[in-house]
Amino acid sequence: MIPRFTILLLILFVNRLLAQDVPLFQSEEPVNLQITGSIKSIKKNSNDSTFVTGKFLYEKDKQWVTVPAEARVRGNFRLNNCYFPPLKLKFNKEDVASTVFKGNKTLKLVVPCETRSDKNELIRKEYLCYQIYKTVSPYYFRTRLANVELHELSKKKPQKYELLAFFVEDNSLVAKRHQGKVVKTKSTNPAAFDEKQSLRNDYFQFMIGNADWSAVFQHNSNTLYADGKYIPLSYDFDLSGFVNASYAQVSPPQPGTINRRDRVYRGFCKSKQAFEEIRKEFLDKEAAVAAIIDNESGNFTKHEFNDMKAYVNEFYEILKSDDKFSSAIIGQCRTK
């Protein structure tokens, strides 16, 4: 019989090999991209199942390298409400074999919604949500920032935009890293999810003030089956209170709430022991979460930076108070 410790070492070794095969996520330095195309055209000619053929450039060793790719629009809300549509990219294995995109069959590219002056700050805030999620959960999507020089082709007047964006790995890579699989279904019984991992996701969503998700119905959430358990994998956090996007106000957290920043606990009820255990986990990681925000202080105005800090601190004030914790989380957990 192989000792459990040896099995864990083997799993860690395999995970490391798998990670090294995807160079895009081996650095935190932003990738520089140049994209030329028509926003109107890609909105018109692509959908959830239809890709259009194109290409973009990325900077490698101070040289611009052409990357053939197929692209389609994704995301119902952003597609209908945003000027820039979020994209899903698909690659041919041979085309990216010698590039930073090696190992990726598909990728999400998250771009700003509007042309407003704060567009890039909002993207950076959403990117930070992914970094926080990575801190509080062992199951997460890897990301990589990108500086995008977008040349929009238009009959009226060509436009040039300097956009901050980020790549999000495909869920198949997450499954591969954990020797699991992604389960696609119309709905999943809440009781089927791993209790502790479900709570980690619920607490995180409550921390960032996000109500635009459902693990049960796979809305902005995938279901991963790994390590003998069902695990929610959340994404798309731009409508959260932490990001505080102006366009998010069109969709309040739930009937009866007015402000997008109002926190609503949407998790299902779990055992008292599990509630307390994950509560302690999050409290123990308070400094790590704060450090993620602190490291970005130079990329925000003083007002925006202090606002982000204060918003997360409000969450920790709830965790630190037995009365607030009981009222805002345990008292609001769902039974159906």
Nearest Cα residue to 281 out of 223, 195, 212: 195
**Predicted confidence (pLDDT) per residue in 281-322, tens digit:** 999 999 999 999 999 999 999 999 999 999 999 999 999 999
Confidence of residue 123 (pLDDT cuts 50, 70, 90): very high
- Highest mean pLDDT out of 11-20, 47-56, 257-266: 47-56
Q: Coil, strand or helix: which one is 183?
A: strand
Is the pLDDT at 76 greater than 60? The verdict is yes
pLDDT at 9: 42
DSSP string, 76-94: HHHHHH-SSPPEEEE--GG
CB 149 within 8 A of CB 184: no
Q: What average pLDDT does this structure show over 93-111? A: 96
Q: How many CB atoms sit inside 10 A of residue 57's CB?
A: 16
Strand partners, 203: none
Confidence of residue 2 (pLDDT cuts 50, 70, 90): low
Tell me what the pLDDT averaged over the chain comes to: 90
pTM: 0.91
Domain ranges of the chain: 29-172, 174-332
Residue 327: both structure tokens together: 């009222």
pLDDT at 158: 81
**Amino acid identity, position 15:** N
Instruction: Give the CA distances from residue 8 to residues 11, 13, 23, 29, in Å, rounded to whole numbers and listed in that order.
Output: 5, 9, 24, 30
Beta strands in the chain (DSSP E): 31-37, 52-60, 63-73, 87-90, 106-110, 143-152, 159-169, 181-183, 221-226, 229-234
pLDDT at 252: 52
- Using the CB atoms, write b or e for 103-133: b if 16+ within 10 Å: bbebbbbbbbbeeeebbbbbbbbbbbbbbbb
**Predicted confidence (pLDDT) per residue in 194-245, tens digit:** 999 999 999 999 999 999 999 999 999 999 999 999 999 999 999 999 999 9
pLDDT at 5: 46
Provide the total of helices (H) and of strands (E) in the chain, helices listed first.
Answer: 10, 10
